[in-house]
Amino acid sequence: MAQNIAERRAAAGLETVALIFPEAGHALSGNGWMPTTQYNVGLNKSGGTPQANAAAQARAFPETIAFLKRTLRVTEE
């Protein structure tokens, strides 16, 4: 889905950065340090392997913070 969104935004001339992690599941939020070994236990089926989820979280968190800093920058007038 992220790839589809990125392609449509690109077609509209909008700058987009999509972080695509094919082997990761859905639970990529958090601070990048949460254990991922319980993601597919019991009723909590979010997909991906623990290793891929951990790698995706570790990359997504700093990228998200960098995006927020760039986008929400307050300028002095």
Residues sharing a CB contact under 8 Å with residue 8, sequence separation 6 or more, in sequence order: none
User: pLDDT 10s per residue in the chain (77 long)?
Assistant: 888 999 999 999 998 888 888 888 876 766 766 677 666 666 667 778 888 888 888 888 899 888 888 889 766 55
Residues sharing a CB contact under 8 Å with residue 76, sequence separation 6 or more, in sequence order: none
Residues sharing a CB contact under 8 Å with residue 13, sequence separation 6 or more, in sequence order: none
How many Å apart are CA 28 and CA 46, to the nearest integer?
10
Entry pTM: 0.67
pLDDT tens digits, residue range 50-62? 888 888 888 888 9
Query: And the tokens for 72?
Result: 């929400």
